[in-house]
Chains A and B, each alone.
Chain A
Amino acid sequence: MILGRAFEDMCAQMYYRGKMFGFVHLYNGQEAVSTGFIKLLKQQDSVVSTYRDHVHALSKGVPARAVMSELFGKTTGCCRGQGGSMHMFSREHNLLGGFAFIGEGIPVATGAAFTSKYKREVLKEADCDHVTLAFFGDGTCNNGQFFECLNMAALWKLPIVFVVENNLWAIGMSHLRATSDPQIYKKGPAFGMPGIHVDGMDVLKVREVAKDAIGRARRGEGPTLVECETYRFRGHSLADPDELRDPAEKAHYAARDPITALKKYLIENSLASEADLKAIDKKIDEVVEDAVEFADESPVPSQSQLLENVFADPKGFGIGPDGRYRCEDPKFTEGTAHV
């Protein structure tokens, strides 16, 4: 959680210094959900996220260096600099992405869950009990894709957990004013799966619920819908001045900061000392600083990378009038190859 928070704060600094650009959405305040769920997963389990995905990537095990380089748009980033803030992918860690468009990731997660069930039951890989987690927000719960996937997942009993990070706001739209029944967890039973509500600011409670849900999925008992009540301390994105939310509401949730709460718990129950916690803070700061340095020094992608990865075969652009592959024609990247 500390890594998540420190990383996101550094992102903000780097953004304002012009080192990264684009639309960046920070996760401050919601760390308990990411840590509570993702830390229970194995490497082969999959995670599908939204545009607010830096911390999901970090929790899943993508190195901070790779994430920071991706944000800076360098070749050493996890997507070779082609994705940016909103599109963190990692085949190694089974992170099936960041999605800029809300709700688009949920069907993808459903497909990934189906694969693991298929492997277990049809291909008879008996030990394949991989679970998929789909993270999304409260605004997405009013979108058609969400409902379609709840139906499919329950119908086919897929090993998936739908995690709603309900931070009450979809840019400037309050969840309470946009939804007919704001209690999202109730939508689970309507489709035939359990719906659970948990305090998303308390990492231990989230972990308990996550254990149950992930356990259910692993045993093949089907999907679960978990609604985590959480809050984002910053605006929707770094371009959002965040003037609309009531300061009293922000203060209420700031008092429930998951990191402070856990620190307090650890100290009160003598599980760790102040010094230990300070040491963790320091170590994380070093990791983040190192990530920034690494990203700074990494090379920017070359112009030829522009045409790569559009198709499986870069030669997929076909043959130009001069008989050569278009992607090899320097004029192709000038956009004037027909002249």
Chain B
Amino acid sequence: MGLRNIIGKRLGLGLVRRRKPFSTATCDGDGNGNGNAKSINLYSAINQALHIALETDNRAFVFGEDVSFGGVFRCTTGLSDRFGKARVFNTPLCEQGIVGFGIGLAAMGNRAIAEIQFADYIYPAFDQIVNEAAKFRYRSGNQFNCGVSNKFPGLTIRAPYGAVGHGGHYHSQSPEAFFCHVPGIKVVIPRSPRQAKGLLLSCIRDPNPVVFFEPKWLYRLAVEEVPEHDYMLPLSEAEVIRQGSDITLVGWGAQLSVMEQACNEAEKDGISCELIDLKTLLPWDKETVEASVRKTGRVLISHEAPVTGGFGAEISASIVERCFLRLEAPVARVCGLDTPFPLVFEPFYMPTKNKILDAIKATVNY
């Protein structure tokens, strides 16, 4: 956990359409306090991270559909002009091919950064990720892997995930749960621009295959002060972004801002909520969550993905295993419903602030 020196910073918004303003409750120390931070949004932070990654390693490549003009979310703007088409290039429309090709690049010692245009389209590549990327090191006895130890290259797959208000069935899915079931890969989800830049650089430099999901709703909406220099944030460390004593809330990505709003409302009713950002879902930081639950005795998990089999189930099971006698109430999960991600019904499907607030109250008053 980093230093907590500024709390409750309100963020500016680009467009105010369907989301309310949110704050990150902390501005934690990323190591070096050398000044220069600019207020930028999520896609710009990711763009900066990619620029730095390509600058600092000449065997890094960025590829995917439409990345060369900047990508449909502008995350790869300027890369192809600056580093050339040999390092930043478009691929044809074949996700399975893109990821498999990335595995090959990584196995030969390069840093492959593959972009899957929407997380909903990652399924053709699922086979390559699960059966190849995750098992490469294991089954070759560390001879080949998606990360050779002397140079630390590796495979990073970036994909925008999550609801965006109007995405419908195939532009809003949250597939993190499928990947969290695969030993051999890492799954990382940032909540804000500053986190995204640091985490993405850590993922790119991690010698294991990593799937990095970016909350697409926040690409333009989330604006934060992000240091301009090269910095990395540690993986597999959860962060307590709000201290509390009555109930622990666990989440990741865009859902944290909704949970934050629910926490603020609950505070008016005298309920003190502790909010934890997992940041890395696989392998996840059980110790931090457990320590928090030991303090509060209650836990609520929230994510956009459907509740059955979502990652909340894993967290719930682990916490019950470790903190059974300390729990004062059942573990609550406020998640998406067990339906395909709907188009018109999106507001009913989503785990909204009110649903979370109701669950907080029910859990505290159990």
A-to-B contact residues, CB < 8 Å:
21-23, 73, 81-84, 86-87, 100-103, 139-140, 142-144, 170-173, 177-179, 244, 300-301, 303, 305-307, 310, 317, 332-336, 338-339
Q: Top 7 nearest A-B pairs by Cβ distance?
A: A142-B92, A100-B170, A73-B344, A84-B343, A139-B93, A21-B166, A306-B345
Q: 6 more A-B contacts (CB under 8 A) besides A100-B168, A140-B93, A339-B358? A: A22-B167, A87-B169, A100-B169, A101-B121, A170-B65, A172-B68
Docked CA distance A249–B190 (Å) = 41
Q: B363 contacts the other chain (Cβ, under 8 Å)?
A: yes
- Nearest-CB residue, chain A, relative to B329: A339
Kindly identify which residue among A84, A171, A300, A303 contacts B65, using a CB–CB cutoff of 8 Å: A171
Which residues in B have their C-beta under 8 angstroms from that of A22?
A: 166-168, 343
B166 near A23 with CB under 8 A, answer yes
Q: B317 contacts the other chain (Cβ, under 8 Å)?
A: no
B334 near A336 with CB under 8 A, answer yes
B227 CB → nearest A CB, Å: 31
Interface of chain B, main secondary structure: loop
Q: B234 contacts the other chain (Cβ, under 8 Å)?
A: no
B59 CB → nearest A CB, Å: 24
A142 CB → nearest B CB, Å: 3
Which residues in A have their C-beta under 8 angstroms from that of B334?
A: 335-336
Which of B336, B348, B351 is the most central at the interface, judged by chain A CB atoms within 10 Å of its CB?
B348
B73 CB → nearest A CB, Å: 11
B168 near A336 with CB under 8 A, answer no
Q: Can you list 12 pairs linking A and B with CB atoms under 8 Å apart?
A: A22-B166, A84-B344, A100-B168, A100-B170, A102-B93, A103-B93, A173-B90, A301-B344, A303-B348, A306-B348, A306-B349, A338-B333
Docked CA distance A333–B330 (Å) = 20
B-to-A contact residues, CB < 8 Å:
65-66, 68-69, 72, 90-94, 96-97, 120-121, 124, 165-171, 307, 330, 332-340, 342-345, 348-349, 351, 355, 358-359, 362-363
B337 near A307 with CB under 8 A, answer yes
Docked CA distance A86–B66 (Å) = 21
B92 near A300 with CB under 8 A, answer no
Which residues in A have their C-beta under 8 angstroms from that of B66?
A: 170-173
Which residues in B have their C-beta under 8 angstroms from that of A305?
A: 345
A172 CB → nearest B CB, Å: 5
Interface of chain A, main secondary structure: loop
Docked CA distance A197–B121 (Å) = 30
Which residues in A have their C-beta under 8 angstroms from that of B337?
A: 306-307, 332-333, 335
Which residues in A have their C-beta under 8 angstroms from that of B94?
A: 142-144
B343 near A144 with CB under 8 A, answer no
Which residues in B have their C-beta under 8 angstroms from that of A310?
A: 338-340
A229 CB → nearest B CB, Å: 19
Known: A82-B342, A171-B72, A336-B334. A101 touches B120 (CB 8 A): yes
Which of B121, B330, B342 is the most central at the interface, judged by chain A CB atoms within 10 Å of its CB?
B342
Docked CA distance A209–B32 (Å) = 68
Which residues in B have their C-beta under 8 angstroms from that of A178?
A: 90-93
B93 near A306 with CB under 8 A, answer no
A22 CB → nearest B CB, Å: 5
B345 near A335 with CB under 8 A, answer no
Docked CA distance A255–B327 (Å) = 72
Which residues in B have their C-beta under 8 angstroms from that of A140?
A: 93
Docked CA distance A170–B333 (Å) = 40
A333 near B363 with CB under 8 A, answer no
Which residues in B have their C-beta under 8 angstroms from that of A81?
A: 343-344
B339 near A144 with CB under 8 A, answer no
- Nearest-CB residue, chain A, relative to B308: A317
Docked CA distance A317–B124 (Å) = 28
Which of B72, B93, B339 is the most central at the interface, judged by chain A CB atoms within 10 Å of its CB?
B93
Kindly identify which residue among A86, A301, A333, A338 contacts B170, using a CB–CB cutoff of 8 Å: A86
Docked CA distance A142–B343 (Å) = 29
Which residues in B have their C-beta under 8 angstroms from that of A171?
A: 65-66, 72
Known: A22-B167, A178-B92, A306-B337. A339 touches B359 (CB 8 A): yes
A170 near B349 with CB under 8 A, answer no
B170 near A173 with CB under 8 A, answer no
B110 CB → nearest A CB, Å: 22
A303 near B345 with CB under 8 A, answer yes
